Amino acid sequence: MIADNSQPTTDNCSKIAVIGLGYVGLPLAVAFAKKYPVVGFDINQKRIGELMSCKDFTLEVSDEELKEVITINHQLSTNNHQPSTGLLCSATLSDITDCNIYIVTVPTPVDKYNRPDLTPLYKASETVGKVLKKGDIVVYESTVYPGVTEDECVPVLEKISGLKFNVDFFAGYSPERINPGDKEHTVTKIKKVTSGSTPEVADMVNNLYASIITAGTFKASSIRVAEAAKVIENSQRDINIAFVNELSKIFTKLGIDTHEVLAAAGTKWNFLPFKPGLVGGHCIGVDPYYLAQKAQEVGYHPEIILAGRRLNDSMGAYVADEVVKKMVKKGIQVVGGKALVMGFTFKENCPDVRNTRVIDIIQALKDYHLDVTIYDPWANPVEVMHEYGVNSSRELPSGQFDTVILAVAHNEFSYETVKSACKENSILFDVKALLDKNLVDGRL
């Protein structure tokens, strides 16, 4: 039960701090800022400067939408009044001291051994712990395995703040469901799972999100249930994609077009419409490892989950192998041959390069001693170099190539654009099956 002297407050009394202003945090902060006073906190000073100038490099929030919420906040603040709505973006800790709802939206990556890396969560919890007060609620949105909120994050909050969990402060978990680049299924239009550390707090957290989520909310019975629900959403997709990726490998050997098979099978009402391809990004390619880690901690070795991960992680090298085989059959020199990879982001029409598996194709091609050029009009070359150590360009390179791999289905990639980069005797491989099968030399 909630202690009498530490009643948490929400609704009209809420001032919200969103910790982490990336692909998840910024859209959420903007949505809340239309109804509540919100401070978006991020340690990246450059990011704060861009946002306060109403620019979002992730392209998840438009300049106009940012101007709307940030302008409201500035107008009310200059009159020395507590703003009733609006967004202030800041890297200054003192700006979040008077908030009573803290929502943590930092990333949860894996390390080079595919082990969960909770460092961003620990650091964010330390930050919140420094300003935590009696009656405050801390809600986590980051994807985690069951138990992280209460077993890993809460002890950090208690240690730094000196407060007692479920007596002085409270916790909730509401997993993010942001789909980067998707302008239809935006944050308020996706049903939200919520939970809280006590029944009363669960109601408060649910009501808070329900006030902005037009798609509705689902209140889970516990924080652990909500954590588990999130981590299996993407694990399920990963396994299904692994299945069709394996089918693609089989049907290629049988000389059958995979997409024609899927179209035929898809005429049955309950056939699931998954397609083969690379599996990257901050969720599907990462979340299964979080579930697998927890399963192994309790003595269970997850076979299907890890088998799906292995198969999906093999697809980049598989594409490169198929391309090289086709080059050899066509009499095209492999060593020293020029290859163009079109697309580097983890999905189409989005600048997000986190955990892109296109890099696997590139590395495998380089292992065959091909000269690889990367073209992506969406990806930031500076970010690509920083994260992966490879050069990329937003402009279509001049000249023609021995092989062109269409790796991402950006709208800019028409057949004419792709074909213009090909030599007369070349290989065109379409990873995303974007083009007519009769116009390419191979596809998944």
* Residues with catalytic function: 283
Q: What is the DSSP string of 381-419?
A: HHHHHHHHS---BSSPPSS-EEEEEE-S--TT--HHHHH
234 and 145 Cβ atoms separated by less than 8 Å: no
64 and 101 Cβ atoms separated by less than 8 Å: no
Q: What is the DSSP string of 77-136?
A: HHTTS--SSEEEEES-GGGGTT-SEEEE-----B-TTS-B--HHHHHHHHHHHHH--TT-
Q: What is the DSSP string of 210-229?
A: HTT-TT-EEE-SSHHHHHHH
CA distance 330 to 429: 13
The token pair that represents 87 in the structure block: 């967004």
Q: Provide the 3-class DSSP secondary structure of residue 436.
A: coil
CA distance 118 to 290: 10
Measured distance between the N- and C-terminal CA atoms of the chain, rounded to whole angstroms: 55
315 and 277 Cβ atoms separated by less than 8 Å: yes
378 and 345 Cβ atoms separated by less than 8 Å: yes
CA distance 144 to 141: 9
Burial (CB count <10 Å: 0-12, 13-18, 19+), residue 118: buried
Q: Provide the 3-class DSSP secondary structure of residue 144.
A: coil
Nearest Cα to Cα of residue 103 among 139, 51, 154, 67: 139
